[in-house]
Amino acid sequence: MTNKTIPDLILSGDTADVYFSRTQTILAKEGLDPVVAMEIFPGRAGILCGIHEVIDLLRVAAPDAQVDALDEGAAISEKEVVLRIRARYSAFGLYETALLGMLAHTTGWATAAREIVAAAAPVPVISFGARHVHPHVAARLEYAAIVGGCIGCATPAGARLAGKEPSGTIPHAMVLIFGDTVRATQAFDQWMPREINRIALVDTFHDEAEEALRVARALGDRLWGVRLDTPSERGRVTPDLVKEVRARLDQAGFPKVKIVVSGGVDLERIKLFKATGAPVDAYGVGSAISAAPPIDFTGDLKEIDGKPIAKRGRIPGITNNPRLKRIDLK
């Protein structure tokens, strides 16, 4: 059986810890296939993400299961049960690795994004982290960042998962090929659809404030904003640089041109920009989200054929969580 949202590599069990597939073989030989209840919970608090993907997998693997779960994007506490599955073990036991991994990585990213977004508020944050992870998981990273509160992301695949349009305009490579920031921005303006914001990258060749004024004069009202992405070799984007660019744009008659800051933006730098009153209109954040560690999730069997059970250190039987909602797998 295949499902366009769940790769065959997962459905086949190739990504599962091998002892789960060996367990399936042994139980089948022994004629054992009880109805079990598994509860899944996190090792620390965070923002839950990955539930939708988990449900997609269960719809294929265990369509008759009884599933209760918290909502995608819910704030969760340490050891809170976020997912309960009741079904025959053969229906989903092979997928424990996948279920935990889907939740662990995306919840880690969503939690990091929420912290960044909260620090930046009310200034919006866009996820630029796809370049820091393997492309197989890039879409899930950017989807998780949006679940965590980012207003958008850079890749079409990530944006599609979140029901949004991708964000992004001009890379340094394009400016370098044109040999001039204004020419590159004018070409973008000429060939890209009008619904895409015109945002000029202004740190490639000359002083950022000078380049900002050049593109503003060339595009006029069509220019939505400028992006400052000064590299670490040049001291990165500083609060004083943002203030200077804002002042020079205002003085030249371009108060509506917005300033986007990217390049090594993390929680501490956002706090610095806010504390110093730097007039940032949006942040592009990459590795501060993409490098966030996963939040460990654990799956425990708590019932076997209706009998409460648990490994040592855990309490046998179902854990009450009134926040759980019944999920329709049909």
CB 202 within 8 A of CB 227: yes
Residues forming a β-bridge with 36 = 87, 304
pLDDT score of 8: 87
- For residue 80, give the nearest of 57, 102, 56, 47 by alpha carbon: 47
Q: Is residue 3 part of a domain?
A: no
Q: Does residue 2 lie within any of the structural domains?
A: no
Task: With respect to residue 122, please indicate whether it lies within any of the assigned structural domains.
Answer: yes
Residues 118 and 186 in one domain: yes
Residue with tokens 């990217």: 262
The verdict on 269 and 314 lying in the same domain is: no
125: tokens are 């944050």
pLDDT at 235: 86
Closest to 322 measured CA to CA, from 35, 37, 52, 74: 74
DSSP state string for 13-36: TTTS-HHHHHHHHHHHHHT---EE
Residues 238 and 302 in one domain: no
183 and 276 share a domain?
yes
Q: 121 with 145, same domain?
A: yes
Which ranges of the chain have pLDDT less than 50?
1-3
Please check whether residue 46 lies inside any domain of the structure. yes
Segments in the chain forming alpha helices (H): 8-11, 18-30, 51-61, 89-92, 96-120, 135-147, 156-162, 172-178, 181-191, 208-219, 239-251, 267-275, 287-290
Residues 223 and 78 in one domain: no
Is 147 inside any structural domain?
yes
Could you tell me if 123 and 138 lie in one domain?
yes
User: Residue 18's domain is classified under what CATH number?
Assistant: 3.90.1170.20
CATH number of the structural domain spanning residue 115: 3.20.20.70
Determine if the peptide bond prior to 122 is cis (ω within 30°): yes
Residue 1 domain-assigned (yes or no)? no
Please give the Cα distance from 287 to 128 (Å, whole number). 8
The answer to whether residue 215 is domain-embedded is yes
Same domain, 254 and 312: no
pLDDT digits (tens, 9 = 90+) for 230-275: 988 998 999 999 999 999 999 999 999 999 999 999 999 999 999 9
Residue with tokens 């919840």: 107
In DSSP notation, 94-119 reads: GGHHHHHHHHHHHHHHHHHHHHHHHH
Does 131 share its domain with 222? yes
Is residue 228 within 8 A of residue 242, CB to CB? The reply is: yes
Nearest Cα to 17, choosing from 105, 96, 122?
96
The structural domain count of the chain equals 2
pTM assigned to the model: 0.92
Q: Which domain holds residue 257?
A: 108-290
**Is residue 154 assigned to a domain?**
yes
Q: Are residues 116 and 216 in the same domain?
A: yes
Cα 277 from Cα 244, distance rounded (Å)? 12
- Output the CA–CA distances (angstroms, integers) from residue 216 to 6, 39, 224, in the order listed: 46, 57, 9
Report CA torsion sign: 203, 209, 210, 216. positive
In the block, residue with structure tokens 């090929």: 177
Residue 283, CA distances (Å) to 128, 133, 255 in order: 10, 20, 19
Question: Encoding tokens for residue 62?
Answer: 């265990």
Whether residue 130 sits in one domain with residue 69? no
Query: What pLDDT sits at residue 2?
Result: 32
- 62 and 142 in a single domain? The answer is no
Closest CA to 49 of 124, 93, 4, 113: 113
Q: How many CA atoms within 13 Å lie on the side-chain side of 275?
A: 7
